Chain A
């Protein structure tokens, strides 16, 4: 931490060595986080370069990269990505908000929870996409139906996660709040909601992956909506496996970025704020 500035003549040297150390740290981090991806790429490349699998079944990394570039230039892939992400975030946010609100409102009343919870648990076994025909009949063969399905796919696991989290709030904390006079909406907003945040983070991650699943399935089926699902379906129709692979790659990269940039940070912040063990 302390840099040697006693030899006041060379602040530049100290700065340079600090920069070098910083660069080394970044390099180490990159190696730690990227070695597995590099390994996969090498194996993939070897398999295709040695001709072990025909190219119409598995295109080479270079082909996929080319298709990616092509698709970005000619098929407005970035626009499709943007539409999908927007739909994903909106649907997920709506699903999360509804689930947490339902959990808080009904988790406080055993009669309501006892009635609702088994239905939610049962619905968990029904794939969200099974509701798409219903959504299409109600909202039309359009983006609204897709959005509703995404929100619903988020809602189911998130609502159960919220119930689970509410039951984990320490009883003395609840008693302390009630003894101080907290009641009704104030109690839910200022005690239960913040108390369940750490356990909700897991639910947020889980429901995020459920949102992706339902969104992709719905986009593939509801042709005509712009988005990655539409591009996937098009790739299949014209037998362009490199495009299909390129889209899968994009989804993978988005997944990694979200995990690293959004959820990992959220988790760190919650751990620090809530003083949980293992906080760094």
Chain B
């Protein structure tokens, strides 16, 4: 086997939904421990599907997923997931939302308290701990969702477009925070995004997926040292290259008359 220990090994995994045809063609991705990996690709190419299978929330039709050397058959303690729409529990305040997973995993009360406080501090939410989700801004809610995952101290953090519902400023702030937190805690991350700059800025490795059914068309290694600046010319170059590839992907798909896809210009965001 390889000398480098893997956090996540997605091996020939594919998925079809009933009456929808193939959503994701057999795909293989390896994520090293502590590596930051992004998945980008046209809408509907199966990114969320792939992440759902890595999380153990969806069963693959073919192939296997291994997390920290163990075959994945469902959710597990070494993995945590952040969804696009935060998916917080509206009846619980911020503190209890963050505490929920620890309760589910039967962590003793005293330890729960210190870990929740620590996680809230990490995302700068300690001052709104007693508020309910509807009393928070979209950016704050997304921070809660991140804190709720971090508090579980996952070795693998799965993030499905966690910033896509946010305005540009909030997004930049949270990207910086995510980079800092990742440098501090060093989980392996699989990060799904539509934003190419975001992918280049945050990642060690970016996988570009084709239009549905998704398959990997290109792999980028981003070796720019951290902490990074978005204006770094090397990142700008990588983004441009990804954009060109994606354009041709989408145009090829449009030639096939795939109705699921947006016009190519929507990707320039």
Interfacial residues, chain A to chain B (CB-CB below 8 A): 170, 172-173, 175-183, 186-187, 190-191, 194-195, 197, 273-275
Chain A residue contacts of B103, Cβ below 8 A: 186, 190
Q: Is the CB of A172 within 8 A of B104?
A: no
A197 to B79 alpha-carbon distance, docked (Å): 30
Chain A residue contacts of B56, Cβ below 8 A: 179
Q: Is the CB of A176 within 8 A of B83?
A: yes
Contact of B134 among A177, A183, A195, A275 (CB under 8 A): A275
Given A181-B75, A181-B105, A273-B132, is A194 in contact with B83 using a C-beta cutoff of 8 Å?
no
How many whole Å from A178's CB to the nearest CB in chain B?
5
How many whole Å from A200's CB to the nearest CB in chain B?
13
Given A175-B83, A273-B132, is A180 in contact with B89 using a C-beta cutoff of 8 Å?
no
How many whole Å from B180's CB to the nearest CB in chain A?
24
Q: Is the CB of A179 within 8 A of B89?
A: no
Determine the residue in chain B with the shortest Cβ distance to A274: B90
Given A180-B100, A180-B152, A275-B134, is A172 in contact with B90 using a C-beta cutoff of 8 Å?
no
Ordered by A's residue number, 23 sampled pairs between the chains whose C-beta atoms are within 8 Å are: A170-B87, A172-B83, A172-B85, A173-B87, A175-B55, A175-B81, A176-B83, A176-B87, A179-B55, A180-B80, A180-B100, A180-B101, A180-B104, A180-B105, A180-B148, A180-B152, A181-B75, A181-B77, A186-B103, A186-B104, A197-B91, A273-B90, A274-B91
Number of interface residues of B (CB under 8 A): 27
Q: Is the CB of A181 within 8 A of B104?
A: yes
Determine the residue in chain A with the shortest Cβ distance to B91: A194
Contacts A195-B91, A273-B90 known; list 16 others, CB within 8 Å. Answer: A170-B87, A172-B87, A175-B52, A175-B83, A175-B87, A176-B87, A177-B104, A178-B74, A179-B57, A179-B80, A181-B104, A182-B100, A186-B104, A190-B104, A273-B91, A275-B90
How many whole Å from B193's CB to the nearest CB in chain A?
17
Q: Is the CB of A175 within 8 A of B57?
A: yes
Determine the residue in chain A with the shortest Cβ distance to B134: A275
Chain A residue contacts of B77, Cβ below 8 A: 181
Q: Is the CB of A178 within 8 A of B91?
A: no
Given A173-B89, A275-B134, is A178 in contact with B75 using a C-beta cutoff of 8 Å?
yes
Q: Is the CB of B81 within 8 A of A179?
A: yes
Chain B residue contacts of A191, Cβ below 8 A: 89
Chain A residue contacts of B241, Cβ below 8 A: none
Contact of A179 among B75, B85, B135 (CB under 8 A): B75
Q: Is the CB of A194 within 8 A of B89?
A: yes
How many whole Å from B31's CB to the nearest CB in chain A?
17
B82-109 toward A: CB 8 Å interface, digit per residue (1/0)?
0101010111000000001101110000
Chain B residue contacts of A179, Cβ below 8 A: 55-57, 75, 79-81
How many whole Å from B214's CB to the nearest CB in chain A?
20
Residue with the greatest number of chain A CB neighbours at <10 A, chosen from B74, B101, B104, B148: B104
Chain B residue contacts of A170, Cβ below 8 A: 87
Contact of B81 among A173, A176, A182 (CB under 8 A): A176
List CB contacts (< 8 Å) of B120-156 with chain A: 132-135, 148, 152
A173 to B90 alpha-carbon distance, docked (Å): 10
How many whole Å from A273's CB to the nearest CB in chain B?
6
Chain B residue contacts of A197, Cβ below 8 A: 91
Residue with the greatest number of chain B CB neighbours at <10 A, chosen from A172, A181, A186, A274: A181
Q: Is the CB of B104 within 8 A of A275?
A: no
How many whole Å from A111's CB to the nearest CB in chain B?
18
A172 to B148 alpha-carbon distance, docked (Å): 14
Chain B residue contacts of A274, Cβ below 8 A: 90-91
Ranked nearest first, the 5 interchain pairs of A and B with the lowest CB-CB distance are: A275-B134, A180-B101, A172-B87, A182-B104, A181-B104
